[in-house]
Structure 1
């Protein structure tokens, strides 16, 4: 799939992308909202430059990117004539679980324990109480994903033959722009280079180890198949997004809206998630912090992913990603 022409692909004067000609190597690009791209290898005089290199030097490259975006004399190519890859190959991926209030309540109801015959209203009330307690205790839930699960924003998503309940989870993804360790919440925005879109696919049947219930979740099996995290299409600089805690996250499945919620419903906001992850780990430029997914996943609808499905994900100001599901050949 290819990006469609649009009057404005994203918010702000420019974004970062990873592009390639049909038979050429991948290269970092500055893209303008009208769908034109500048090859940053030419700008920086480095044939081996990557978007990760640009992010590694974000404080010094950002002013230069602003100047490139304003320079109408530079050669620009149409994005629609190029292949769009995941905008960055991160070193680390930090994933957030249970961070949208309504989403967690829906999952709590959907994952009813055997023998739990209580009415849905009672189980919803229980889940709401759990969410209120987590917010009061200020304890986000963050775990580690694999960079090898990253896929392009228009690539096909292969559904593994073993995946019994593949599900979608569209998310706002934070892209780190400076090394960050033990960063206070108030300072966390200074470490954010920009934002992009991630679809954090999950095989619901593999989330819990039924053979070892006391161990809990199995995120390796359930979330980290190759291409299970479509990313992009663009990294929009943080300065172009006025309030990341008030963006609309929308996923359509075959044209039907399944998720449509504001990041206002997040229990822990963007700055808190970045700060929390940094209290344990050292975040590096280009790392991703996925902020959780809102209500409206497949388990809620009783309709999981299958061969031929097309997912279209949007987040306010960040563009559109469009991926088709393909069943793995048996």
Structure 2
């Protein structure tokens, strides 16, 4: 999908999920079914507009296929590693998130108050895989990327570790990222997937910036140049373990400024905005 620049999204129309390209104040429906991987894996010319709808008449959903895998990278910005008092990892440090974790633009994050009192944000740049990929190299890794979107890795900081044996000051604790990062509705993705050669060129140049605002206040801002591992290195490493599939999402890490480092956690009514340079802003509220 490298011959046009466009924004691809999932939309709810009269109870039916469709795939569409944004066209100003309208949406060009290119697939009448909820099959984002099919569209991502083919040139835009293979999917001419079937009908045009006013954007005001459709509901924007998270641009995430319900069958997709979502991978995220821990400690991938130098300053975030410093605020977490963590040494840089020797290779990309990965964990998994489920599709049920995510809401879309304009949605409400679930604070999961029965499970956590320290609900945190992590703004990130995510890449979306467009073609099946196994054993990619650093040189060809971006050939398998369809586009990018903004990403919030919601985190429950107070259930991020579990004691081995009796809890207490002398106990050994083990990271539990599945609990910490896997809460239903606790993360966000969107608004759409920005695709095309300009996006891939910026990824290759590492010229994109990520900005996070909490209730209008900037709490994170960083360039991809400050990443420890590039997007190409991440894809090459992950695809050496498993085959990546169209629609899979890889979040490339968060910069410094997360809530736990500020002792400032999300509360009901908060507005969270995540902006990737050149893309529409992802905006959600805490329900």
TM surpasses 0.5: yes
Q: Which runs of 5+ in 2 are unaligned?
A: 166-170
Verify: 1:221 aligned to 2:179, yes or no.
Answer: yes
- Alignment deviations for residues 42-61 of structure 1 (CA, whole Å, 9 cap, x no partner): xxxxx435222212xx2x33
Greater displacement, 305-314 / 201-210: 201-210
Query: Do the aligned partners of 1:183 and 1:275 also contact (CA within 8 Å) in 2?
Result: yes
Which residue does the alignment assign to 2:18?
27
> Cα distance, 1:227 vs. partner?
1.4
Query: Do the aligned partners of 2:19 and 2:33 also contact (CA within 8 Å) in 1?
Result: no
- Alignment deviations for residues 166-198 of structure 1 (CA, whole Å, 9 cap, x no partner): 110011111001111111111101111111111
Which residue does the alignment assign to 1:262?
223
Which residue does the alignment assign to 2:168?
none
Query: Do the aligned partners of 2:64 and 2:99 also contact (CA within 8 Å) in 1?
Result: no
For residues 21 and 131 of structure 2, the distance between their equivalents in structure 1, rounded to whole angstroms, comes to 20
> Cα distance, 1:13 vs. partner?
4.0
Verify: 1:63 aligned to 2:15, yes or no.
Answer: no
Verify: 1:243 aligned to 2:217, yes or no.
Answer: no
Verify: 1:142 aligned to 2:56, yes or no.
Answer: no
Q: Which runs of 5+ in 1 are unaligned?
A: 1-11, 42-46, 69-73, 109-126
Query: Do the aligned partners of 1:176 and 1:287 also contact (CA within 8 Å) in 2?
Result: yes
For residues 39 and 144 of structure 1, the distance between their equivalents in structure 2, rounded to whole angstroms, comes to 31
Map residues 292-311 of structure 1 onto 2, 5 A cutoff: 292-311=253-272
Partner-residue secondary structure (3-state), 1:278? helix
For residues 98 and 111 of structure 2, the distance between their equivalents in structure 1, rounded to whole angstroms, comes to 17
Report the CA distance shift for 1:76/1:224 in structure 2 as closer, same or farther (over 3 A).
Answer: same
Relative to the length of structure 2, the TM-score reads: 0.89
Which residue does the alignment assign to 2:105?
153
- Alignment deviations for residues 71-98 of structure 1 (CA, whole Å, 9 cap, x no partner): xxx7533323321101121521111000
Partner-residue secondary structure (3-state), 1:88? coil
The runs of 4+ residues in structure 1 deviating greater than 4 Å are: 211-215
For residues 310 and 151 of structure 1, the distance between their equivalents in structure 2, rounded to whole angstroms, comes to 14
Query: Do the aligned partners of 1:103 and 1:293 also contact (CA within 8 Å) in 2?
Result: yes
Verify: 1:284 aligned to 2:237, yes or no.
Answer: no
> Cα distance, 1:151 vs. partner?
1.6
For residues 80 and 321 of structure 1, the distance between their equivalents in structure 2, rounded to whole angstroms, comes to 17
Which residue does the alignment assign to 1:176?
129
Which residue does the alignment assign to 2:76?
99
> Cα distance, 1:24 vs. partner?
2.6
For residues 104 and 218 of structure 2, the distance between their equivalents in structure 1, rounded to whole angstroms, comes to 22
Report the CA distance shift for 1:235/1:209 in structure 2 as closer, same or farther (over 3 A).
Answer: same
For residues 35 and 25 of structure 2, the distance between their equivalents in structure 1, rounded to whole angstroms, comes to 20
* Aligned length in residues: 274
For residues 296 and 306 of structure 1, the distance between their equivalents in structure 2, rounded to whole angstroms, comes to 17
Question: More strand per residue: 1 or 2?
Answer: 2
Report the CA distance shift for 1:238/1:107 in structure 2 as closer, same or farther (over 3 A).
Answer: farther
For the pair shown, which has the larger CA radius of gyration, 1 or 2? 1
- Alignment deviations for residues 79-131 of structure 1 (CA, whole Å, 9 cap, x no partner): 233211011215211110000110111121xxxxxxxxxxxxxxxxxx5xx33
For residues 63 and 294 of structure 1, the distance between their equivalents in structure 2, rounded to whole angstroms, comes to 37
Query: Do the aligned partners of 2:118 and 2:158 also contact (CA within 8 Å) in 1?
Result: yes
Query: Do the aligned partners of 2:212 and 2:275 also contact (CA within 8 Å) in 1?
Result: yes
Partner-residue secondary structure (3-state), 2:140? helix
Report the CA distance shift for 1:171/1:24 in structure 2 as closer, same or farther (over 3 A).
Answer: same
Verify: 1:189 aligned to 2:171, yes or no.
Answer: no
Report the CA distance shift for 1:284/1:214 in structure 2 as closer, same or farther (over 3 A).
Answer: farther
